[in-house]
Amino acid sequence: MSLIMVSKDTEGGGGGIGYVRINRPKSLNSLTRGMMKDLAGVFKSLDSDDSIHVIILSGEGSSFCSGVDLTSAEDVFKGDVKDVESDPVAQMERCRKPIIGAISGFAVTAGFEIALACDILIASTDAKFIDTHARFGIFPSWGLSQKLSRIIGVNKAREISLTATPLTAQDAHNLGLVNHVVEPPQLLNKARQVAQAILKNNLDLVVRYKAVINDGANRDLHHALLLEKERAHEYYNGMTKEQFKKMQEFIAARSSSSSSSKKPPSKL
C-alpha cells in the first residue's frame, strides 16, 4: 500500500485536478524519510504533467499530517536534508500549479509547514495547526519560523510557536491563514469547488499570476511592483496579434453576455 496516494481527474467538469493524499492514518499521517522523498517526487511529477492544472493535497483519516515520525527522527534530521530533490516543501514551492491544502484534524509541526507551502487552505472545523518545534527541541527547516509571521503577524506567530498553543481552524481563518472553514464532510467538495473556479480561467496566466504573487511576497513593495511591471512587459511583448485578437473577442463576448443578462424581461 502506497503511503502517498495520487489520483487524477482529467476529464469532465473537474478535469485537470491532481489529488495527493498522505496515507498513513493509523499514525496520524506522520512522515517517514521514505514518505518525504515520495511526496517530493509526486509534486515534481505533477508539476511537469500537462494534464494537471491544480493540485489538492489532503490526509487520509482523521488528520492531515501530524509531523515527522519521531521514532525515525535521527534518520530524518541527520540525513541529507539539503537535497532539494527529496524535500517535499521545496518541491511544493517550486511547483508552478496552484496547490490547495484540504486540512482536517491535526497539522502539526512538519505538517504545519507542508500546509504553509500550499497556496490556498481549506480547513474543516476540527482542524488544528500546532507548532511543537520548541516543545520537542526540533529546529524548523521547512519555513515555519519565517512564513507564519508574514501571514498572521510576528507577535501572534511568536505566541503560537513559543508556547506550542494549538491554532483552531476558525482562529486561523480570522488571522488570514485559512481561506475557508467548512464542516468535515464538505472539505474535499469545497477544495474541488475552488479548484474548478481556477480551471475556468486562462491557465497560462494562472501559472504566471501565482509566480508573480509568490515571488513578489519575498521582496519589499517597491521591488515587488518593479517585478510585476517587468513580467507584464515580458508577457505582452510575447503575445502574437492572434492572441490579442482572441483576448478582445473573449472580452467582447463576455460584455455582450453581461449586458443581455441585465435586460428587463419582455412583456407578455
Asked if 223 and 41 touch (Cβ cutoff 8 Å), the reply is no
> If DSSP codes are grouped into helix, strand and coil, which group holds residue 236?
helix
What would the pLDDT profile of 62-75 be if each residue is shown by its tens digit? Answer: 999 999 998 876 67
Bigger pLDDT: 246 or 112? 112
The cell numbers describing 160, all together, are 503560537
Average pLDDT of the residues of the chain: 91
Rounded distance between C-alpha atoms, residue 206 and residue 50, angstroms? 14
Rounded distance between C-alpha atoms, residue 196 and residue 207, angstroms? 15
Going by pLDDT thresholds of 50, 70 and 90, the confidence category of residue 124 is: very high
Give the chain's count of helices (H) and strands (E).
12, 9
Crossing angle between the packed helical segments 203-217 and 221-237, to the nearest 10 degrees: 160
The cell numbers describing 137, all together, are 527541541
Q: What is the pLDDT of residue 12?
A: 60
Rounded distance between C-alpha atoms, residue 211 and residue 98, angstroms? 10
Lowest mean pLDDT among 6-20, 98-112, 160-174: 6-20
What would the pLDDT profile of 46-63 be if each residue is shown by its tens digit? Answer: 999 999 999 999 999 999
Going by pLDDT thresholds of 50, 70 and 90, the confidence category of residue 268 is: very low
Instruction: Give 192-223 as a DSSP string.
Output: HHHHHHHHTS-HHHHHHHHHHHHHHHTS-HHH
Q: What is the pLDDT of residue 267?
A: 47
Q: What is the mean pLDDT of residues 79-103?
A: 90
The model's pTM is 0.90
Residue type, 195: A
